């Protein structure tokens, strides 16, 4: 039976019968005949969404993507709940690179096909999840025409994806130039239907050539004209949507969300999710409602679309950051928190989230940025001292790096950070805060003031080791080396009841270890690694105009670059020029000991440490004894190593270092027994 016979014979029997026959032709591979049947249905009743859908499937199979997209969109305009059309449109849009619209329709279709792999791949891609699209035929997965729950939608044509072979549309539509028509009929029909584009009408008419004689008669032109008119009627509808009162709609959505009616809010927003800047707030509120429903992926997609339409919404950027953080995408969330704060410099929620997320990621620069906003709005913010400690920690880190360089290549920021810290510190609040003031003065290069602050604190707290240790550092900076050393010894005597300055600056960032954490059964003991984790043996000495000091500082710099041989040469030159400064001479010789250790010349390392100790036995520090013990251990002189470690403990003030030394004693005792 021919298509004409079917159309003529079934026209009176109803549209459903025609649609069934069109699907029959498709299953038989008679695509051109199937397309003509569906086009005839549309000419009889253009409100048939299933006919438009099947027309879209056939046009996509033919390679007419624009026509297919238009057909799917009209099908959905007629029936927005028709999931097969939404699914096919989503995949088509994804093919042509319209990711945002593809995601929108994929989410629509997933209300029916909730776990379809092709749809999920589109949604995941939009949400930033890397997922390869399944290489399965449409027929091999749950078809668009079946639903896992609820009433199944109408039967729909399912097509396989393109595999490279050409789909044969034998007898199907050809180029316009292949057809003949009566020009008078064409002009008259265009005038009757008020059509402007002759090309559009003729292109549509090629789809209605029922007798395939390549002549477009008046009836076929009339059918095409009615179809074009119907298609055109859908275009103004999209344009008119701008006239929606967005402000009123936004207020209604906010009220629904406030009252917990999240599903109603999503449904109300859904028809107005337009690709225009005016609708950016609607996308954002839709995302907010979906977030409340714990649909994070959809929320992220809507919020990103809102920002795409209006990049200057601080609220949308912040809320997107929150959703991304909940999805464990910290780096991306940090970007949007920072962006929200850049748009609105007083946005406290964004500042707080920026601080917390930056802290998790170790981004101290952005952590400072957030803190500055919080402290600007509230000078007594609960995290005030945490901000101060961060500033001083950064200043201290810079001092450690640049302090040994004779002429730093960059401008020092540490002093300015420390001065900023002083602005947020209040005297007489607590002992800890008073100590922070003295430390801030130290890093701000206000050494005289720092000494005075330490002395004031010692009068009130003579048994506080942190104060004696801090005073020792400040005295050394102003050249009072003898007094500095005496204060250091006093600090070590009081260390059993004190905390180290390092713990003061970073109370939450110190890794505590106990002896029970050590694995006493391991065969390999990396003593060199353990030693390298300790603070440097010597305090940095700054340039006082003395050549000996210059060579010493160069040696320290070379040590930091693991250039041990060159460092020893610098130390030797420094020794030839050092005068009566016993303290400097001891530091130089100890430096040689550390350099020899780095070169694995352990015997030479031991000799250097002993030479330094003989110059002033009373000034031997715990760190010197520790390093000496490590060198003995490397030579397998475990008893000598144990003796050094045991003598080091009472001279150390850092609890973490003491714990490490005790662990080394246990290891060496075990190795000594073996």
Mean pLDDT of 141-145: 33
Q: How many Å apart are CA 144 and CA 86, to the nearest integer?
A: 10
User: Are 552 and 541 a contacting pair, CB within 8 Å?
Assistant: yes
By mean pLDDT, which of 464-468, 512-516, 575-579 is the weakest?
512-516
Asked if 131 and 117 count as a contact pair (C-beta separation under 8 A), the reply is no
Same fold across 387-497 and 557-672: yes
What is the pLDDT at residue 170? 65
pLDDT tens for 73-100 read 898 888 888 888 888 888 888 777 677 7
How confident is residue 369, by pLDDT bands cut at 50, 70 and 90?
very high
Percent of the chain with pLDDT over 90: 17
pLDDT, one tens digit per residue, over 467-522 is: 998 999 999 888 888 998 999 888 888 764 333 333 333 333 333 333 333 333 33
Q: Cα(505)–Cα(219) distance, rounded to whole angstroms?
A: 88
Q: What is the C-alpha separation between 619 and 615, in angstroms, rounded?
A: 9
Report the pLDDT value the prediction gives residue 336, as an integer from 0 to 100: 94
- The Cα 365–Cα 411 span in angstroms is 17
* CA–CA gap between residue 18 and residue 45 (Å, rounded): 12
CA distances to 492, 587, 594, 625, 626 from 651, rounded to whole Å, are 6, 17, 19, 9, 10
- At 651, is the pLDDT very low, low, confident or very high (cuts 50, 70, 90)? confident
The residue that leads in pLDDT, 428 or 612, is 612
Distance CA 422, CA 198 (A): 79
Tell me which long-range contacts 232-238 makes (C-beta under 8 A, separation of at least 24): 232/195, 234/73, 234/74, 234/77, 237/77, 238/274
* Candidates 1.25.40.10, 3.30.9.10, 3.40.50.460, 3.40.47.10; CATH matching 557-672: 1.25.40.10
For residue 639, count other CB atoms closer than 10 A to its CB.
11
- Could you tell me the CA-to-CA distances from 499 to 81, 470, 515 in Å, in that order? 68, 12, 19
What would the CATH number be for the domain defined by 10-127?
Answer: 1.25.40.10
> How much of the chain, in percent, has pLDDT values that exceed 70?
79
Delimit the domains of the chain by residue range. 10-127, 176-234, 246-362, 387-497, 557-672
Instruction: Provide the pLDDT for residue 637.
Output: 85
Q: Look up the CATH number of domain 387-497.
A: 1.25.40.10
427: left (phi over 0), alpha (psi -120 to 50) or beta: beta
Query: Class assignment of domain 246-362?
Result: mainly alpha
The C-alpha torsion from 549 through 553 and 559 to 561, rounded to 10°, is: -160
pLDDT value, residue 309:
87
Using alpha carbons, list the distances in angstroms from residue 350 to 32, 301, 312, 385. 59, 20, 14, 20
- Which segment, 128-142, 288-302, 426-440, is predicted with the most confidence on average? 288-302
Question: What is the rounded distance in angstroms from the CA atom of residue 174 to the CA atom of residue 181?
Answer: 14
Please, which residues bridge with residue 82 across strands?
none
pLDDT digit string, tens, across residues 2-39 = 445 444 544 445 788 888 888 888 888 888 888 888 88
Angle between helices 83-96 and 49-62 (to 10 degrees): 30
Per-residue pLDDT tens for 519-541?
333 323 333 343 344 333 333 33
Query: What pTM does this model have?
Result: 0.42
């Amino acid at each position: 039976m021919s298509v004409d016979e079917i159309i003529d014979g079934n026209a009176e029997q109803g549209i459903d019968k025609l649609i069934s026959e069109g699907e029959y032709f498709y299953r038989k591979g008679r695509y051109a005949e199937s397309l003509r049947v569906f086009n005839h249905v549309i000419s009889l009743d253009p409100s048939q969404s299933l006919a438009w859908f099947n027309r879209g499937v056939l046009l996509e199979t033919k390679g007419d993507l624009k026509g297919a997209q238009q057909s799917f969109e009209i099908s959905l305009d007629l029936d927005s709940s028709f999931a097969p059309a939404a699914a096919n449109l989503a995949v088509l849009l994804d093919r042509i690179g319209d990711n945002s619209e593809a995601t929108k329709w994929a989410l629509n279709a997933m209300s029916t096909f909730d776990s379809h792999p092709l749809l999920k791949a589109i949604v995941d891609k939009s949400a930033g999840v890397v997922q390869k699209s399944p290489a399965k035929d449409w027929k091999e997965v749950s078809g668009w025409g079946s639903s896992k729950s609820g009433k199944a939608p109408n039967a729909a044509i399912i097509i396989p994806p393109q595999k490279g072979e050409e789909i044969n549309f034998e007898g199907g539509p050809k180029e316009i130039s292949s057809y003949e028509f009566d020009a008078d009929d064409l002009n008259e029909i265009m005038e009757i239907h008020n059509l402007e584009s002759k090309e559009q009408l003729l292109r549509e008419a090629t789809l209605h050539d029922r007798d395939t004689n390549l002549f477009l008669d008046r009836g076929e032109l009339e059918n095409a004209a009615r179809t074009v008119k119907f298609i055109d009627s859908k275009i103004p509808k999209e344009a008119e949507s701008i006239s929606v009162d967005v402000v009123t709609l936004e207020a209604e959505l906010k009220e629904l969300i406030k009252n917990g009616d999240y599903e109603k809010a999503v449904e109300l927003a859904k028809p107005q999710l337009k690709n225009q800047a005016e609708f950016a707030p609607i996308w954002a509120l839709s995302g907010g409602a979906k977030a409340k429903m714990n649909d994070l992926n959809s929320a992220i997609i809507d919020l990103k679309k809102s920002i795409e339409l209006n990049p200057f919404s601080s609220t949308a950027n912040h809320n997107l950051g929150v959703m991304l953080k909940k999805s464990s995408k910290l780096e991306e969330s940090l970007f949007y928190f920072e962006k929200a704060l850049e748009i609105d410099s007083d946005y406290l929620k964004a500042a707080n989230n920026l601080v917390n997320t930056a802290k998790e990621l170790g981004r101290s620069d952005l952590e400072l940025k957030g803190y500055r906003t919080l402290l600007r709005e509230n000078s007594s913010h609960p995290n005030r001292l945490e901000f101060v400690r961060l500033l001083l920690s950064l200043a201290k880190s810079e001092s450690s790096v640049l302090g040994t360089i004779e002429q730093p290549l960059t401008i020092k920021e540490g002093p300015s950070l420390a001065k900023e810290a002083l602005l947020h510190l209040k005297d007489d609040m607590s002992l800890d805060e008073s100590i922070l003031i003295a430390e801030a003065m130290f890093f701000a290069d206000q050494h005289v003031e720092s000494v005075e602050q330490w002395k004031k604190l010692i009068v009130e707290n003579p048994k506080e080791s942190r104060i004696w240790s801090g005073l020792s550092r400040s005295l050394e900076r102003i050249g009072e080396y003898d007094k500095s050393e005496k204060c250091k010894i006093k600090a070590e005597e009081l260390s059993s009841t004190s905390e180290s300055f390092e713990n003061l600056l970073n109370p939450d960032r110190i890794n505590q270890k106990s002896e029970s954490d050590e694995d006493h059964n391991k065969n390999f003991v990396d003593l060199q690694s353990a030693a390298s984790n300790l603070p440097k043996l010597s305090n940095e000495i700054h340039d006082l105009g003395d050549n000996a000091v210059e060579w010493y500082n160069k040696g320290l710099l070379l040590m930091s670059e693991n250039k041990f041989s060159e460092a020893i040469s610098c130390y030797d030159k420094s020794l030839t020029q050092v005068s009566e400064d016993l303290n400097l001479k001891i530091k130089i010789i100890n430096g040689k000991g550390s350099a020899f250790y780095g070169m694995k010349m352990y015997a030479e390392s031991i000799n250097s440490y002993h030479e330094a100790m003989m110059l002033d036995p009373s000034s031997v520090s715990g760190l010197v004894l520790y390093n000496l013990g490590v060198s003995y251990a490397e030579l397998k002189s475990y008893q000598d190593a144990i003796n050094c470690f045991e003598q080091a403990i009472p001279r150390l003030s850092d609890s973490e270092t003491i714990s490490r030394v005790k662990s080394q004693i246990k290891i060496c005792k075990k190795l000594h027994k073996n």
